[in-house]
Amino acid sequence: MSSGALYNDQGGAEAAVEAGQENTPTTGGTGGTGAAFRLFNTDFKKNEDLKEMLESNKESLKLEAMKRVVGLIAKGKNASELFPAVVKNVASKNIELKKLVYVYLVRYAEEQQDLALLSISTFQRALKDPNQLIRASALRVLSSIRVPIIVPIMMLAIKEAAADLSPYVRKTSAHAIQKLYSLDPDQKEQLIEVIEKLLKDKSTLVAGSVVMAFEEVCPDRIDLIHKNYRKLCNLLVDVEEWGQVVIISMLTRYARTQFTSPWKEGFMFDDNEKTFYDSDAEEKKDQEETKPYTMDPDHRLLLRNTKPLLQSRNTAVVMAVAQLYWHLAPKQEVCIVTKSLVRLLRSHREVQFIVLQNIATMTIQRKGMFEPYMKSFYVRSTDATHIKTLKLEILTNLANEANISTILREFQTYVKSQDKEFAAATIQAIGRCATNISEVTDTCLNGLVLLLSNRDETVVAESVVVIKKLLQTQPTQHSDIIRHMAKLFDSITVSMARASILWLIGEYCERVPKIAPDVLRKMAKSFTAEDDIVKLQTVNLAAKLYLTNSKQTKLLTQYILNLGKYDQNYDIRDRTRFIRQLIVPSEKSGALNKYARRILLASKPAPVLESAFKDRERFQLGSLSHSLNSKANGYHELSDWPAVAPDQSVRNVDVIEPVKERAPALGKTRKNKSQDKFYSDEEDENEEEEEEGSESSESSSSSSEESCSESEEEEESEKSSGDSGKNSSSSEESDDSEQEEKKKAKQKKSKASADSGSDENGNGPVGHDSCSSAESSSESGSDSEDDSADSPPPQKKNANKSQSKVVMDNSKNQVSLLDLDDFSPVPVNTSQSSVLSPSLMSDLEGLSLSNMSPTLQVTSPTFSPVKTHELLHHMSGKGLSATYHFPRQPCLYQPSMVSVQLTLTNHSDQILEEIHVGERSPAGLSIHCFNTIERLQPEASVTVSMGIDFSDSTQAANFQLCTKEDQFNVSIQPGVGELLTPCTMTQQDFSKEQGKLMGMNETSATLSVSTAISSAHAVSNQVLSVANVGVVSSGSVSR
């Protein structure tokens, strides 16, 4: 408060000068005495005036007053005594007035806690407002009021808002968590619960904010992330920029604890033991799979999903991705960030500064990364000094035998810069280059010696210092240069440089036995005219020479010591006295005298010339700590890679685990449910299981246990889906009887595996990940919950209903696989995602809409098979191996094409160059080739996608895969299922289309399914693994 009072006073003074409409706040107490002083009196009145305005009935007056108050706050003046008048307006209808009052409240509530409480009820009311903007802003202000008494109210509000339907409000609640935590850290446990809940949120809007809250409140609770890891990775591209930064840095930390190191043993100096075991394991793998290291697919997922963000316009995002790659990616992949980082150098000066700092650290470890971009680090005359110094640092780090001459030529320019601080730094840089690259040491030394004749003192002093260091590191070849420097000695005037030369001659006097005494002689002559620092070194030189060559220099030394004894400077007198006692033998100083030689001529350790950025490696790149080179508050250390990867399944479990808490509750309701309700539950299962399947192949195995109990259903549905081309009426007939059987089966199952069933139930929302529209996802989430209550079990009724797309009653899911006639489109995974999303999938939907019949809507694939086929074995491909699989995504290039993903791996020990697609047959085959791969490093692999138009036939596509030297004939044979496109259409449309087909393109296949696998979902999985179809609520469509 004292500071407030201070400003207050200042304000008074300023207001008098500034005049205008400024109001100087005065405390109420001065009112009485104010009458005596006119100045204060008017101020007081002005304040009164504001108060009156605030209390008037006119909105415009109030608004005007508030604007002036905000002006005061902005200037840092105290306006706190207006609090009572302002707080009255908190419930105003005028939204701008209200906002300004909020600004005021947040600023002063901490100081006027009692009065602030008056406003709380208004916010509590606003929290229930139907307008989400008002709810959100009420929560924002409420949580910004730092009054400890309202902590419980805030807690309640946060909990409520976290469950709000509007993602914007949920986002606000994530922010409020941090505010509450800083106000009252005791609430941590409860807040973590809310965070846990919000982490499950699928909205891109919420993701960034909640991760921020996580980082602030409980950064160590890494276990909360497991289940959400994949979701966060997948959402990342669509999250707003600021959220991306936070999520990426959190995921970096996470990945370092969860995955094993992708770096080869050569790079792991620090942990020998670990390396040992790792390499063992790797060798074994080498033999088995010819792959040295297999990356966890989740690790790969993270790297893959962050890569596009390198193209972000937000420099912070690019930097975040760069540091992620630096800390997580295999060494050969880190290079992809180079280009983007260099791009950032064209941004604002401050951005350059930070990026250059990080590049400087990177160049110490990995020269090669930035070497091609060396010219981007050339200094411009317009750069600020700190930028210049950083660029110099990087250039020095980049120097090697090949480019040193270019760099040195560049350095020459810098030495002559008008910015002397920078010129001095350049000389040091030259010194470092000289020590690092032995080939140029001599050239550099000569150049530096030339610089000694420079007029500028800083340049000369710096050169001498650097030469001194260089000579110390190379003790063999001094004499020439020392002799040269001695020759130059007469022409050099800068005392610092003269002193340095004297030191050098003294230190290595034994190597220049003839010159040294001569220099001493000259110095004896000019001793009195020299600067102090030169005198000191002269004394040193004399002493050293006396010890090594006393015959020639004894008299000279005594002369100099005598001169020094009567010098005006006490330092020199002291030194002289000390030296005399030390070297000249006398009775008093016998003890020390013996060691004189060892003291004065001890070999001095050479100074180490290394980068100032050496020790910054310990900090995470891109962090504040790295920039400051000291640990900042709240910095989380990046842990070392674990020797053994922690259980990978924790992230798989993510699909099942969240339900565990809910399981008991659900289980109960289940048991109470009548049998009719079964079906609705079951459909949920179906859907979820399908989604699971698409999410990861591993998780699908977890559901196999429950599938045993439904053998019959399985068979039936298998049949129906098998001849989906025909109109299978048989399935309808058998419906009834089947239902009976199923019920029985289900009863058993529900008892046996109630848990697992309910698990899936809970997973519903997770499966909807890909819905990029936040609202739709929340709707669908709630839909599925409602379903169980109002879903009727009737199949036959449904069959007659024509259905709109939106209705997509989940209740029909179960029937779907049995009853082909009954068609209703279903919202599978991404089908809801809007056309507007920037992600590719939805673009394509939008595009393909235009060239297909209006009733045809391509659904996104519900299942992406992981099965890969071999295209080229590395034995026959001279080290190049290729595998392919069908990602089942709509082809980018043409709708008629099927997209194929090729993974090319180089198993040879040579770099493969110019990998491209060559001749193809049949001649008319249209292939959209991938871009030529310029080079593929040994052991590296690259995934490319291409489009092939199979013309709806299963004829194999033959083409040549060429490298620079060789050509390999390969062929891709598609399964018929891969040629299909999943579509959603109404029942009528389907029958119409089917009619057109007239059996021409009928394809049927029989699946041999063991009776053990019998659940509906298993069928769909089986079918999906063969054919690219979408899952529709009441039938699968193939065209």
* Min CB(188)–another protein separation in Å: 17
* Residue 80 or 728 with smaller CB distance to another protein: 80
Angle at 550 between CA 549 and CA 556, to 5 degrees: 110
Please choose, out of 258-266, 444-452, 522-530, 730-738, the segment that lies near another protein by the rule CB under 8 A.
Answer: 444-452
* Residue 443 or 1025 with smaller CB distance to another protein: 443
Cβ–Cβ < 8 Å for 482, 471: yes
* Min CB(559)–another protein separation in Å: 36
Q: Which residues lie closer than 8 Å to 510 by C-beta, 6 or more apart?
A: 548
Told to check if 168 binds another protein by CB under 8 A, we report yes
Told to check if 188 binds another protein by CB under 8 A, we report no
Q: Which of 103, 579, 808, 983 binds another protein (CB under 8 A)?
A: 103
Binding to another protein (CB under 8 A) within 128-167 occurs at 131-133, 136, 140, 143-144, 146, 166-167
> What stretches of 314-348 show up as alpha helix (H) in DSSP?
315-328, 336-344
How big is the site for another protein, counted in residues (CB under 8 A)?
125
Interatomic CA distance for residues 329 and 296, integer angstroms: 12
Q: Which of 16, 39, 450, 866 binds another protein (CB under 8 A)?
A: 450
Binding to another protein (CB under 8 A) within 361-380 occurs at 375-376, 378, 380
Binding to another protein (CB under 8 A) within 269-308 occurs at 308
Please choose, out of 96-104, 725-733, 1001-1009, 1025-1033, the segment that lies near another protein by the rule CB under 8 A.
Answer: 96-104
Burial class (CB in 10 A: 0-12, 13-18, 19+), 93: exposed
Residue holding tokens 């191996």?
881
Please choose, out of 35-43, 177-185, 559-567, 653-661, the segment that lies near another protein by the rule CB under 8 A.
Answer: 177-185
Binding to another protein (CB under 8 A) within 67-86 occurs at 67, 70-71, 73-76
* Residue 890 or 1035 with smaller CB distance to another protein: 890
- Reduced to 3 states (helix: H, G, I; strand: E, B; else coil), residue 600 is helix
Told to check if 319 binds another protein by CB under 8 A, we report yes
- Reduced to 3 states (helix: H, G, I; strand: E, B; else coil), residue 585 is coil
Strands ordered across the beta sheet of 869-872? 869-872, 880-885, 898-906, 941-949, 926-928
Q: Which of 53, 54, 87, 97 binds another protein (CB under 8 A)?
A: 97
Q: Which of 125, 349, 577, 992 binds another protein (CB under 8 A)?
A: 349
Binding to another protein (CB under 8 A) within 618-647 occurs at 622-625, 627-628, 630, 632-636
* Residue 102 or 489 with smaller CB distance to another protein: 102
* Residue 455 or 514 with smaller CB distance to another protein: 455
Told to check if 943 binds another protein by CB under 8 A, we report no
C-alpha separations of 113 from 86, 104, 156, 267, 308 in Å: 14, 13, 20, 58, 49
Cβ–Cβ < 8 Å for 978, 886: yes
Binding to another protein (CB under 8 A) within 975-1004 occurs at none
DSSP 929-973: PPPPEEEE-TT-EEEEEEEEE-TTS-PPEEEEEE-SS-EEEEEE-
Q: Which of 87, 90, 147, 205 binds another protein (CB under 8 A)?
A: 205
C-alpha separations of 146 from 5, 105, 117, 625, 896 in Å: 21, 10, 11, 29, 61
C-alpha separations of 634 from 625, 631, 641, 884, 910 in Å: 10, 8, 21, 46, 46
* Residue 54 or 774 with smaller CB distance to another protein: 774
Closest CA to 229 of 766, 691, 687, 764: 766
Tokens of 285: 């793998």
Q: Which of 354, 536, 539, 820 binds another protein (CB under 8 A)?
A: 354
Q: What is the 3-state secondary structure (H, E, C) of 90-141?
A: HHCCCHHHHHHHHHHHHHHCCCCHHHHHHHHHHHHHHCCCCCHHHHHHHHHH
Binding to another protein (CB under 8 A) within 407-426 occurs at 408-410, 412-413, 415-416, 418
Cβ–Cβ < 8 Å for 900, 927: no
* Min CB(350)–another protein separation in Å: 4
Binding to another protein (CB under 8 A) within 752-811 occurs at 772-775
Binding to another protein (CB under 8 A) within 26-65 occurs at 59-60, 63
- Reduced to 3 states (helix: H, G, I; strand: E, B; else coil), residue 1004 is coil
> What stretches of 974-1015 show up as alpha helix (H) in DSSP?
987-997
* Min CB(316)–another protein separation in Å: 4
* Residue 347 or 648 with smaller CB distance to another protein: 347
Binding to another protein (CB under 8 A) within 108-127 occurs at 110
Told to check if 185 binds another protein by CB under 8 A, we report no
How far is CA 786 from its chain centroid?
A: 38
* Residue 372 or 792 with smaller CB distance to another protein: 372
Binding mask 882-911 for another protein (x = CB under 8 A): ----------xx------------------
Binding to another protein (CB under 8 A) within 720-759 occurs at none
Can you say whether the dihedral through the CA atoms of 5, 8, 12, 17 is positive or negative? positive
Q: Which of 46, 179, 299, 677 binds another protein (CB under 8 A)?
A: 179
* Residue 557 or 770 with smaller CB distance to another protein: 770
Q: Which of 90, 101, 173, 175 binds another protein (CB under 8 A)?
A: 175
Long-range pairs, 568-573, Cβ under 8 A, ≥24: 569/532, 569/535, 571/532, 571/536, 572/532, 572/535, 572/536, 572/539
Cβ–Cβ < 8 Å for 684, 1017: no
Cβ–Cβ < 8 Å for 662, 758: yes
Told to check if 350 binds another protein by CB under 8 A, we report yes
Binding mask 584-623 for another protein (x = CB under 8 A): --------------------------------------xx
Q: Which of 353, 573, 794, 1009 binds another protein (CB under 8 A)?
A: 353
Q: Which of 13, 16, 384, 644 binds another protein (CB under 8 A)?
A: 384
* Min CB(172)–another protein separation in Å: 7
Cβ–Cβ < 8 Å for 118, 150: no
Helices 167-183 and 188-199: crossing angle in degrees, nearest 10, is 160
Q: Which of 116, 142, 222, 451 binds another protein (CB under 8 A)?
A: 451
Q: Which of 54, 101, 316, 828 binds another protein (CB under 8 A)?
A: 316
Q: Which residues lie closer than 8 Å to 90 by C-beta, 6 or more apart?
A: 98, 101, 102, 105, 118, 119, 122
* Residue 67 or 525 with smaller CB distance to another protein: 67
- Per the DSSP assignment, residues forming a β-bridge with 586 are none
Tokens of 844: 């394509």
Instruction: Please list, residue by residue across 75-86, b when 16 or more beta carbons sit within 10 angstroms of its beta carbon and e when fewer do.
Output: eebbbbbbbebb
C-alpha separations of 341 from 314, 350, 389 in Å: 12, 14, 18
Binding to another protein (CB under 8 A) within 221-250 occurs at 237-238, 240-242, 245, 249
* Min CB(926)–another protein separation in Å: 16
Told to check if 837 binds another protein by CB under 8 A, we report yes
Binding to another protein (CB under 8 A) within 842-881 occurs at 843, 846, 850
How far is CA 934 from its chain centroid?
A: 28
* Residue 108 or 489 with smaller CB distance to another protein: 108
* Min CB(738)–another protein separation in Å: 42
Closest CA to 295 of 261, 252, 255, 337: 261
Told to check if 94 binds another protein by CB under 8 A, we report yes
Told to check if 548 binds another protein by CB under 8 A, we report no
Tokens of 543: 């002493």
Q: Which of 86, 207, 217, 320 binds another protein (CB under 8 A)?
A: 320
* Residue 75 or 511 with smaller CB distance to another protein: 75
